[in-house]
Protein backbone atom coordinates (compact mmCIF):
# COMPACT_ATOMS: atom_id res chain seq x y z
CA UNK A 1 0.00 0.00 0.00
CA UNK A 2 1.41 3.40 -0.97
CA UNK A 3 1.68 6.34 1.43
CA UNK A 4 -1.04 8.22 -0.47
CA UNK A 5 -3.46 5.31 0.04
CA UNK A 6 -2.86 5.37 3.81
CA UNK A 7 -3.91 9.03 4.05
CA UNK A 8 -7.70 9.04 4.32
CA UNK A 9 -8.13 12.84 4.45
CA UNK A 10 -5.76 15.36 2.86
CA UNK A 11 -6.07 19.15 2.66
CA UNK A 12 -4.26 20.53 -0.37
CA UNK A 13 -4.43 23.08 -3.17
CA UNK A 14 -6.60 22.56 -6.21
CA UNK A 15 -7.38 24.52 -9.37
CA UNK A 16 -6.54 28.24 -9.19
CA UNK A 17 -4.95 27.66 -5.79
CA UNK A 18 -8.29 26.98 -4.09
CA UNK A 19 -8.26 24.74 -1.00
CA UNK A 20 -9.68 21.28 -1.46
CA UNK A 21 -9.97 18.11 0.61
CA UNK A 22 -9.14 14.73 -0.91
CA UNK A 23 -10.80 11.65 0.61
CA UNK A 24 -9.39 8.17 -0.07
CA UNK A 25 -10.53 4.70 0.92
CA UNK A 26 -9.37 1.38 -0.57
CA UNK A 27 -8.61 2.81 -3.99
CA UNK A 28 -11.69 5.04 -4.24
CA UNK A 29 -11.42 8.81 -3.88
CA UNK A 30 -13.41 12.04 -3.74
CA UNK A 31 -12.44 15.70 -3.89
CA UNK A 32 -14.28 18.49 -2.08
CA UNK A 33 -13.52 22.19 -2.58
CA UNK A 34 -14.04 24.52 0.38
CA UNK A 35 -15.32 27.01 -2.18
CA UNK A 36 -18.98 26.10 -2.45
CA UNK A 37 -18.63 22.98 -0.27
CA UNK A 38 -18.44 21.48 -3.75
CA UNK A 39 -17.68 17.83 -4.54
CA UNK A 40 -15.88 17.88 -7.90
CA UNK A 41 -14.57 14.33 -8.20
CA UNK A 42 -15.65 10.83 -7.20
CA UNK A 43 -13.61 7.90 -8.49
CA UNK A 44 -14.17 4.20 -7.95
CA UNK A 45 -11.46 1.66 -7.10
CA UNK A 46 -10.60 1.38 -10.81
CA UNK A 47 -9.87 5.10 -11.04
CA UNK A 48 -12.95 5.76 -13.17
CA UNK A 49 -14.45 9.23 -12.72
CA UNK A 50 -18.15 9.07 -11.81
CA UNK A 51 -18.89 12.81 -11.77
CA UNK A 52 -18.86 15.29 -14.63
CA UNK A 53 -17.12 18.67 -14.46
CA UNK A 54 -17.23 20.82 -17.56
CA UNK A 55 -14.00 21.60 -19.38
CA UNK A 56 -15.30 25.18 -19.31
CA UNK A 57 -15.58 25.23 -15.50
CA UNK A 58 -14.06 28.36 -13.95
CA UNK A 59 -12.47 27.80 -10.54
CA UNK A 60 -12.42 31.49 -9.69
CA UNK A 61 -14.84 33.19 -7.26
CA UNK A 62 -17.48 34.50 -7.53
CA UNK A 63 -18.27 32.07 -10.36
CA UNK A 64 -19.87 28.79 -9.27
CA UNK A 65 -18.03 25.62 -10.28
CA UNK A 66 -19.75 24.02 -13.26
CA UNK A 67 -20.37 20.32 -12.67
CA UNK A 68 -19.81 17.88 -9.81
CA UNK A 69 -22.30 18.29 -6.97
CA UNK A 70 -23.28 21.96 -6.52
CA UNK A 71 -25.24 22.71 -3.34
CA UNK A 72 -28.34 24.79 -4.03
CA UNK A 73 -29.27 26.79 -0.92
CA UNK A 74 -31.25 28.70 0.28
CA UNK A 75 -33.01 28.72 -3.07
CA UNK A 76 -33.32 26.14 -5.81
CA UNK A 77 -33.40 27.41 -9.40
CA UNK A 78 -35.31 30.69 -9.72
CA UNK A 79 -37.99 29.78 -7.18
CA UNK A 80 -37.51 32.92 -5.12
CA UNK A 81 -35.97 36.40 -5.07
CA UNK A 82 -32.30 35.34 -4.96
CA UNK A 83 -29.90 34.51 -7.76
CA UNK A 84 -30.64 31.08 -9.32
CA UNK A 85 -29.67 28.23 -6.96
CA UNK A 86 -28.90 30.59 -4.08
CA UNK A 87 -25.51 31.63 -2.76
CA UNK A 88 -24.12 28.59 -0.89
CA UNK A 89 -22.39 27.27 -4.01
CA UNK A 90 -20.27 30.41 -4.39
CA UNK A 91 -19.28 31.02 -0.79
CA UNK A 92 -16.20 29.81 1.04
CA UNK A 93 -17.04 27.12 3.59
CA UNK A 94 -14.94 26.34 6.66
CA UNK A 95 -13.79 23.01 8.03
CA UNK A 96 -15.99 22.17 11.03
CA UNK A 97 -13.56 21.00 13.71
CA UNK A 98 -16.22 20.30 16.34
CA UNK A 99 -19.41 19.06 14.65
CA UNK A 100 -22.34 17.89 16.80
CA UNK A 101 -22.94 14.12 16.99
CA UNK A 102 -24.52 12.49 13.97
CA UNK A 103 -27.55 10.20 14.37
CA UNK A 104 -25.89 7.57 12.19
CA UNK A 105 -22.21 6.73 12.54
CA UNK A 106 -20.02 5.37 9.76
CA UNK A 107 -16.96 3.19 10.18
CA UNK A 108 -15.24 5.13 7.41
CA UNK A 109 -12.25 7.31 8.27
CA UNK A 110 -12.53 9.15 4.96
CA UNK A 111 -14.86 12.05 5.72
CA UNK A 112 -14.79 15.81 6.13
CA UNK A 113 -17.14 18.15 8.00
CA UNK A 114 -17.77 21.61 6.56
CA UNK A 115 -19.83 24.52 7.85
CA UNK A 116 -21.30 27.64 6.26
CA UNK A 117 -22.61 30.68 8.14
CA UNK A 118 -24.05 33.82 6.53
CA UNK A 119 -21.87 36.89 6.14
CA UNK A 120 -23.16 40.42 6.69
CA UNK A 121 -23.57 40.73 2.93
CA UNK A 122 -25.59 37.50 2.83
CA UNK A 123 -27.90 38.79 5.56
CA UNK A 124 -28.62 41.88 3.48
CA UNK A 125 -30.03 39.81 0.62
CA UNK A 126 -31.50 36.97 2.75
CA UNK A 127 -32.10 38.18 6.34
CA UNK A 128 -32.00 34.83 8.13
CA UNK A 129 -29.24 33.50 10.36
CA UNK A 130 -28.33 29.84 9.91
CA UNK A 131 -25.67 27.16 10.24
CA UNK A 132 -25.33 24.76 7.32
CA UNK A 133 -23.27 21.72 8.25
CA UNK A 134 -22.19 19.30 5.54
CA UNK A 135 -20.45 15.96 6.00
CA UNK A 136 -18.97 14.29 2.92
CA UNK A 137 -18.10 10.63 3.49
CA UNK A 138 -16.39 8.11 1.24
CA UNK A 139 -17.47 4.66 2.43
CA UNK A 140 -15.31 1.50 2.46
CA UNK A 141 -17.19 0.24 -0.59
CA UNK A 142 -16.62 3.47 -2.49
CA UNK A 143 -20.09 4.87 -1.79
CA UNK A 144 -20.29 8.66 -1.59
CA UNK A 145 -22.54 10.04 1.15
CA UNK A 146 -23.53 13.66 1.71
CA UNK A 147 -25.26 14.59 4.97
CA UNK A 148 -26.66 18.11 5.35
CA UNK A 149 -27.88 19.67 8.58
CA UNK A 150 -29.35 23.17 8.42
CA UNK A 151 -30.09 24.98 11.67
CA UNK A 152 -32.05 28.16 12.25
CA UNK A 153 -29.92 30.46 14.45
CA UNK A 154 -32.16 33.54 14.38
CA UNK A 155 -31.93 35.08 17.85
CA UNK A 156 -35.63 35.96 17.77
CA UNK A 157 -36.59 32.37 16.89
CA UNK A 158 -38.34 33.53 13.73
CA UNK A 159 -39.11 30.70 11.31
CA UNK A 160 -37.81 30.85 7.74
CA UNK A 161 -38.37 28.72 4.67
CA UNK A 162 -35.88 27.64 2.01
CA UNK A 163 -35.41 25.29 -0.91
CA UNK A 164 -32.41 22.98 -1.23
CA UNK A 165 -30.87 20.47 -3.63
CA UNK A 166 -27.75 18.49 -4.46
CA UNK A 167 -27.64 19.39 -8.17
CA UNK A 168 -25.59 16.33 -9.16
CA UNK A 169 -23.88 15.83 -12.53
CA UNK A 170 -22.95 12.20 -13.22
CA UNK A 171 -20.46 11.29 -15.92
CA UNK A 172 -21.96 9.31 -18.81
CA UNK A 173 -19.67 7.77 -21.42
CA UNK A 174 -22.35 7.64 -24.11
CA UNK A 175 -25.36 9.97 -24.00
CA UNK A 176 -27.35 7.39 -25.98
CA UNK A 177 -27.28 5.12 -22.92
CA UNK A 178 -29.78 7.41 -21.21
CA UNK A 179 -32.56 5.09 -22.42
CA UNK A 180 -30.96 2.24 -20.50
CA UNK A 181 -30.07 4.27 -17.41
CA UNK A 182 -33.35 6.12 -16.83
CA UNK A 183 -35.13 3.22 -15.05
CA UNK A 184 -32.40 3.31 -12.38
CA UNK A 185 -33.19 6.85 -11.26
CA UNK A 186 -35.56 5.89 -8.48
CA UNK A 187 -34.22 2.41 -7.78
CA UNK A 188 -30.76 3.55 -6.73
CA UNK A 189 -31.25 7.09 -5.48
CA UNK A 190 -31.66 6.78 -1.72
CA UNK A 191 -33.15 9.69 0.21
CA UNK A 192 -34.05 9.79 3.88
CA UNK A 193 -35.01 13.21 5.21
CA UNK A 194 -35.71 13.81 8.90
CA UNK A 195 -37.63 16.83 10.18
CA UNK A 196 -37.24 16.96 13.99
CA UNK A 197 -38.32 20.61 14.03
CA UNK A 198 -39.21 22.54 10.90
CA UNK A 199 -38.58 25.84 12.65
CA UNK A 200 -35.13 24.88 13.91
CA UNK A 201 -33.49 22.19 11.84
CA UNK A 202 -33.63 20.41 8.49
CA UNK A 203 -31.55 17.27 8.37
CA UNK A 204 -31.04 15.14 5.29
CA UNK A 205 -29.06 12.16 4.05
CA UNK A 206 -28.49 11.22 0.45
CA UNK A 207 -26.48 8.19 -0.66
CA UNK A 208 -25.23 8.14 -4.24
CA UNK A 209 -24.54 4.74 -5.76
CA UNK A 210 -25.54 4.09 -9.35
CA UNK A 211 -28.42 6.52 -9.67
CA UNK A 212 -28.73 9.31 -12.18
CA UNK A 213 -29.65 12.90 -11.44
CA UNK A 214 -28.21 15.15 -14.15
CA UNK A 215 -26.32 13.81 -17.15
CA UNK A 216 -22.76 15.04 -17.48
CA UNK A 217 -22.37 16.20 -21.03
CA UNK A 218 -20.02 18.96 -22.08
CA UNK A 219 -21.61 21.56 -24.31
CA UNK A 220 -21.10 25.14 -25.36
CA UNK A 221 -24.13 26.34 -23.39
| pLDDT 10s digits, 133-154 | 999 999 888 889 998 999 999 9
Q: What percent of the chain stands above pLDDT 70?
A: 73
Distances from the Cα of 163 to the Cα of 57, 77, 100, angstroms: 25, 9, 23
Q: What is the tens place of the pLDDT at every residue in 16-60?
A: 999 999 999 989 999 999 999 999 999 999 999 999 998 888 899
Residue 161 neighbours by CB under 8 Å, 6+ apart: none
Residue by residue, DSSP assigns 31-95 as EEETBTTEEEEEE-TT--B-B-B-TT---STTSPP-BSB-EEBS--TTSSSSSTTBSGGGSB-EE
* Beta strands in the chain, from DSSP E residues, in sequence order: 9-13, 19-25, 28-33, 38-43, 71-72, 94-95, 111-116, 130-138, 144-152, 165-166, 169-171, 189-197, 201-208, 214-216
pLDDT in tens, 104-133: 666 788 999 999 999 999 999 999 999 999
Residue 81 confidence (pLDDT):
81
Nearest to 137 by CA among 124, 146, 150, 128: 146
Q: Which of 75-84, 89-98, 143-152 reaches the highest mean pLDDT? A: 89-98
Domains detected in the chain: 3-215 (2.70.98.10)
Return the percent helix, strand and coil in the chain, to nearest 5. Answer: 10, 40, 50
Amino acid sequence: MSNSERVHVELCKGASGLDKVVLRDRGSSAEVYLYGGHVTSWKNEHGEELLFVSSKAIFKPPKAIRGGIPICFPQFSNHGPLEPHGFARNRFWSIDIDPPPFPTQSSSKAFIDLILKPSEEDLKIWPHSFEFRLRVTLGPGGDLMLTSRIRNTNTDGKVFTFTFAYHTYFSVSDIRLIVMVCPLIFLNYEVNFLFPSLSKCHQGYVGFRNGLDDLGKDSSR
